[in-house]
Amino acid sequence: MLRSLSGFDFESTVSGYNADRGICLKTYDFFKGMAYGQLSGCLSVREIENSMKAIGKRLYHAELQQMKRSTFLRPVKCCIGAWP
45 Cβ contact list (under 8 Å, min separation 6): 37, 69, 72, 73, 76
User: Domain-by-domain residue ranges, the chain?
Assistant: 26-84
Q: Please report, in tens digits, the pLDDT of each residue of the chain (84 residues total).
A: 667 777 778 888 888 888 777 777 788 888 888 888 898 899 988 898 888 888 888 888 777 877 777 777 776 666 555 544
Residues comprising the chain, all counted: 84
The structure's pTM equals 0.73
Instruction: Output the 3-class SS for 60-82.
Output: HHHCCCCCCHHHHHHHHHHHHHH
Determine the Cα–Cα distance for residues 10 and 36; give it in Å rounded to an integer: 17
Cα dihedral 82/9/1/83 (nearest 10): 10
